[in-house]
Amino acid sequence: MIGTKFNKFIVRYALCASLGALPALAQNNAPVRDPKALALLAQCALNMGTSAIGDFYATGTITRSDSKDSPGTIVSQIKGVKMRNDITFPDGLHSYATNGTSGWNLQQGKRAKAPYAAFAYYRPEYVPALACVIDPLRPRMNVQQVGLENVGINTAYHLEFSVPPSGSDNSETMISDFHVFLDQQTLVVLKTRTLIFDPAALENHSVWETYYSDYRLVSGALVPFHIENYLSGQKVNDIVFSSVQLNTGIPDGNFD
């Protein structure tokens, strides 16, 4: 489905660009749709083989930076904006899932609903190729190019996504805030950045950054086999996938 929607996005973008219909400035809270940013994202999707991704099933190890425990195991399943991660550490199973409209987590045998901010604008973190197409397909989403920035030794295009505020209420703007950093030469995703929130108070939030490396071609798509997570600038997770499969036919019920 992602591939079909992506192809429609390309056609729609090309038509609008040719007619000069992509606004440079937001009016009446209409979203900003920067044509340069859209063009970069379209090329990113082509370069990364996004249209080849129907679903994603990966297994590997995850190491927590704040723990002396041995690495845990991770099983990650992704289908569009649906996600399920099952992580086993010495202290037990940790599971997280969202189906696009709701979410849940399981820790120490206790299952709880995920807060709205955790799933409302979820992007599949371990499949960065999808970050090039999901937000442009959301009609209310700002799509803007911030500029060029350094990501490690590479120079990257910094692209920003967010929903315009509704009057004085900017809660959806904060929840939807997302940043993608594309390598200037290859337009492959090097990094993403978002916010994570205190369920009781949106004003209490921290920056969550994800870095991608060791890209490999899997069934026509570029997939990172090494992923690092940083919370407020401090490394918290190191993930290494040992196996990645695409289009295995993951049932939708796995995400309920």
Tell me, what DSSP letter sits at residue 109?
T
Determine the pLDDT at residue 67.
77
Instruction: Specify the pTM.
Output: 0.87
Secondary structure (H, E, C), 189-214: EEEEEEEEEECCEEEEEEEEEEEEEE
**Residue whose C-alpha is closest to residue 1's, from 134, 112, 189, 90:** 134
Domain that holds residue 170: 2-255
Determine the pLDDT at residue 52.
97
Average per-residue pLDDT for the chain: 88
CA gap 235, 65 in Å, rounded: 6
CA gap 192, 187 in Å, rounded: 13
Q: Give the torsion through C-alpha atoms of 238, 231, 149, 186, to 10 deg.
A: 30
Report the chain's terminal Cα–Cα distance, integer Å: 19
Evaluate whether 226 touches 212 at the Cβ level (below 8 Å).
yes
| Percent above pLDDT 90 for the chain | 70
Structure tokens at 123: 């992007």
The structural domain count of the chain equals 1
Length of the chain equals 256
Higher per-residue pLDDT: 11 or 76: 76
Evaluate whether 241 touches 56 at the Cβ level (below 8 Å).
no
Neighbouring C-beta atoms of residue 155, cutoff 10 Å: 14
Higher per-residue pLDDT: 8 or 224: 224
Higher per-residue pLDDT: 196 or 179: 179
Choice among 196-200, 212-216, 222-226 with the minimum mean pLDDT: 196-200
Backbone angles phi, psi at 226, to 5 degrees: -130, 125
| 107-141 tens-digit pLDDT | 888 889 988 888 889 999 999 999 999 999 998 99
Q: Is the pLDDT of residue 38 over 90?
A: yes
Evaluate whether 31 touches 22 at the Cβ level (below 8 Å).
no
> CATH number, domain at 78?
2.50.20.10
Evaluate whether 81 touches 157 at the Cβ level (below 8 Å).
no
Helix (H, G, I), strand (E, B) or coil at 7: helix
pLDDT band at 41 (very low <50, low <70, confident <90, very high): very high
Structure tokens at 83: 């996600």
